[in-house]
Structure 1
């Protein structure tokens, strides 16, 4: 509305006139209907009869025009024509949109055919009408290789930066698709850079045809390392599952093969669970109960109604899978949590199996016994877990199993079998220097989890490694000793965390021995107080590398070694989303490129964000 109406109002009887607020004069609005009304006559009236009000009106109008966010300009015909013209395929704007659409496909597991979907095309047309969406073939044959090559170049740059020290650790696994006759072999790499930041990339996930023999796997390893310019001398360790063909392939390739700790733990727990007939029967009955609700919508709706009556949030029972022992733990836990609702259900409906009060007690004791195993599985499968966690974790777990508690009733056979399986399957840690040295170089553990004999062996291993370093790189600086103390938890029932603290309280570090400069570094480092388990060991080394330069170089090598092949398994979880029912005809070459982009692109997007 014009500012002139501050000085006028519409005449009540005749709207084609306005009444001046100053002199009460009727002034024509310039027409006979609303379509022809204007404010020109009103402005002229102010200018002729009320000069002071006119000047006030003029100032207000000018101020409003100066503060307007967008000038009221009429676009030219050329501007209108330009805005309606379609982008050329080579224009910067069109290339940018095409690149983002390709990233969307790779990151969100969308098929190339999404560009043919009506809803997606309408969305793009609404966002930018001048953009012409290319065909699915263009995205598959042109855009994907371009994006892959761009990211591969950046990965090559990262690998080149990680050449000092020249050691890298890897994980590998073999996966077979459920929707197509395809097998793939993965290779992921991780290392600690000069700023003590852990770097992790997916190098390859290539098609693996033919027999999965050790010879074929070894040849595939050599081919992948050659493709990425990684000399075998730079390979510190390769973590894989416990399959014999994989273990032998490491030996044939001359690589240090480390068996996945999570897989080994899986085998040990399976032995323990199946060792006691009563527990095996409970697991079998649990599977029948869960299967009953899983395959019957009617049964599930009935149990859901009972859950609501008890004021519980509706929750499904969890089905276990044979390859994941912790899924059995979660299945029993979900059943135990629904103990009341199941009792109410069987009062009115049938179940293929039920539990007696004694069996419910056994389930509770089994959950108590396996809870530390579940905690350990989560910890060693985390992205920050390393080979340094193996010896301390299993020392704490073994000690916990040796303690007698009230919840042992009905599960003593299982507990004994678990302890024996752990001792047998993790005996390799006593002969693998990597675990010893990695534990010592982790400031959360050092040598506090070793007995006297293992401490002596550890010192020999570390000093041999230190002596192999160039003398010019070894210097020692006196500095303030860390004053951090070990965190302890309130007294409660024994837990895995309690065992870590108990071992530390019993195991004091050896007194320092003054020998060579490198030995002085080791002795001074070991004499200092441990940092809390929740702290990051790489942060410690970033801060203390000036005090312990030789040990810091070793830490970059050994703390980069993972203890599980979880990275490769996560990669294949993504692969099952790439090669799915909607893309079961996707070639392995394109599937590998999509996986490579999906896993590595987020790393560089984070760099751009910072």
Structure 2
């Protein structure tokens, strides 16, 4: 036994017991230490291995640090063995660091930072922080595993749709991102296929070669239904040259072109220019910015504790930034006016140039609901996890018939803007001919149980779309096992079929009233189209005809993909056709959303990232559900 002192004055003895051969044993970790009539080694052990234990070394003190001069209570951890950082825990921590790097888009070199090393030493003293090279290798392994999981998921997908768009990094390197969309168990899935560097000229032939290579690499041959892209000529020609899928222009780009036509009008152009100069003045003048904050605080409600809002500058490439600028100017009008009228802050010559007239302020206020409806339409069609392509024409016709209708007590500027945008949108979108119109979007609307009545189209276009869908239905060849299920489903099909739905349904609650307004004006009867006595003989017709008599579903209560999943036994062929077209997104926004992540990944601090690692980091960040 170790020779112990007669009086254990030091607090370190609260954590050690005597052992044989002049040694002591730590109660916390069971480690043996030599005891030579000194507590120095014991105290050093506590300080280095047990950081939560505070040893003051004063007479009468015991346990952890506390308040006051009296005895302190011993922590429960003093009687619990310390957790060891074994190989399993070390591997788990390293994996979580890799996931954090991809999820938060951190630079790979952050693991070599002194601050991170200090943090990990405090949290897990026995853990050795890996080097940048180790983290890169682990991320490459995670990327390979993720790609294998994605390929297994694609094997079960019968149809997929892709979106593509190009972007340029801060290092002036060109990239093209391709995303994939498919239906899985009644839900729409979205993932990033790849982000490849474009070193050659962006000709239609080179872009087509990159698209073809990506599809072959992922084993998606004969599965791609459509490619959604912007309206750039080279991208349009690249998709048309492949002839392997439908070329679908991005609705968001089309709508932006139409809105830009209205914003470029003389009066609107001058108003936007005046607002831009006004916002720039406050952005470049420190004195004006400080004065604006003071006026905002003086004019706000006493109970409002939120920080003052800054003015928003518009951007030429994003039309919705004009709406943001107008909204902020309108909400801060009186604070802005007060600053411009204060001669201690704004010179008279500057005020005459910057001040907006009452007509300008009235136009801004009148334009807000118009621009807000256009933004709502863009947002509704830019989703990735719900069906959007079937909403293109219902929303387009709602915009033309209601939101861009110039009837009412409006200013001349607003009327001219509405007429210009409506004319441009009608020229670009109105389906006068099925081949010239967005055939995929129209067929998707017909296969969407919310909009299959097609009441937003003329009677002639309704007939053309249904005939086109019938052609697609009759030429569809199902796999053998599906054909067997088709025969069983046909034998047990429902005999009772409801008539056409009389009430319109839309993509979201906010659009329900809009579509319903124009549905009442353009309703055509399916029974008239198919002839008298159709309802009585519905049980003798095929599933396509039974589908037309099926009741529409409420737009804000049920997902069309869930509806088709439940009706797969009743409509086996049509359900496959629905998955083919409803998986197509309405816009190429999913590919464009990658740009924001890429801007954080490829920055000035990481300008030497290889294209392979750029692709790896973007894929790991965007496809988190696969790893």
Q: 1:60 matched to which residue of 2?
A: none
Query: Are 2:77 and 1:77 aligned?
Result: no
The Cα of 1:168 is off from its aligned counterpart by 0.8
Q: 1:18 matched to which residue of 2?
A: none
1:16-67: CA deviations, max 9, x gaps?
Answer: xxxxxxxxxxxxxxxx99979xxxxxxxxxxxxxxxxxxxxxxxxxxxxxxx
Q: What are the residue-to-residue correspondences of 1:44-193 with 2, within 5 Å?
A: 76-77=30-31, 91-140=87-136, 142-162=137-157, 165=158, 167-177=159-169, 179-193=170-184
Q: Using the alignment, how far apart are the partners of 2:83 and 2:166 within structure 1?
A: 51
Q: Which of 498, 513, 516 lines up with 1:501 in the alignment?
A: 516
The Cα of 1:74 is off from its aligned counterpart by 7.1
Query: Are 2:280 and 1:291 aligned?
Result: yes
Q: Using the alignment, how far apart are the partners of 2:7 and 2:218 within structure 1?
A: 81
Q: 1:445 matched to which residue of 2?
A: 451
Query: Are 2:427 and 1:424 aligned?
Result: yes
Q: 2:253 matched to which residue of 1?
A: 263
* 3-state SS of paired residue (1:323): coil
Gap regions ≥5 residues in structure 2: 1-5, 11-25, 34-44, 50-80
Contact 1:365-1:409 at 8 Å conserved across structures: no
Distance 1:341 1:116, change over 3 A: same
Q: Using the alignment, how far apart are the partners of 2:392 and 2:446 within structure 1?
A: 12
Q: Which of 243, 263, 278 lines up with 1:273 in the alignment?
A: 263
1:528-587: CA deviations, max 9, x gaps?
Answer: 442222232112212222222222111111110001001100111111110012212212
Q: 1:576 matched to which residue of 2?
A: 599
Q: 2:561 matched to which residue of 1?
A: 538
Aligned residues, how many?
523
The Cα of 1:486 is off from its aligned counterpart by 4.4
The Cα of 1:453 is off from its aligned counterpart by 0.1
Distance 1:77 1:266, change over 3 A: same
Distance 1:377 1:150, change over 3 A: same
Distance 1:541 1:403, change over 3 A: farther
Q: 2:396 matched to which residue of 1?
A: 394
Contact 1:463-1:519 at 8 Å conserved across structures: no
Distance 1:188 1:285, change over 3 A: same
Q: Using the alignment, how far apart are the partners of 2:110 and 2:98 within structure 1?
A: 11
Q: Which of 460, 463, 470 lines up with 1:463 in the alignment?
A: 470
* 3-state SS of paired residue (2:555): coil
Look at both structures and tell me which one has the larger radius of gyration over its CA atoms.
Answer: 1
* 3-state SS of paired residue (1:402): coil
Instruction: Judge which range, 439-448 or 402-411, deviates more.
Output: 402-411
Distance 1:575 1:488, change over 3 A: closer
1:112-147: CA deviations, max 9, x gaps?
Answer: 11112122111111221111112112222x122111
Report which of the two has the higher share of helix: 1
* 3-state SS of paired residue (2:448): coil
Gap regions ≥5 residues in structure 1: 1-31, 37-71, 490-494, 606-610
1:224-267: CA deviations, max 9, x gaps?
Answer: 11111121x21100001000000011112223211100011101
Q: 2:38 matched to which residue of 1?
A: none
Q: 2:372 matched to which residue of 1?
A: 371
Give the TM-score of the pair, scaled to structure 1.
Answer: 0.80
CA RMSD of aligned residues (A): 3.0
Instruction: Judge which range, 408-417 or 335-344, deviates more.
Output: 408-417
The Cα of 1:402 is off from its aligned counterpart by 3.2
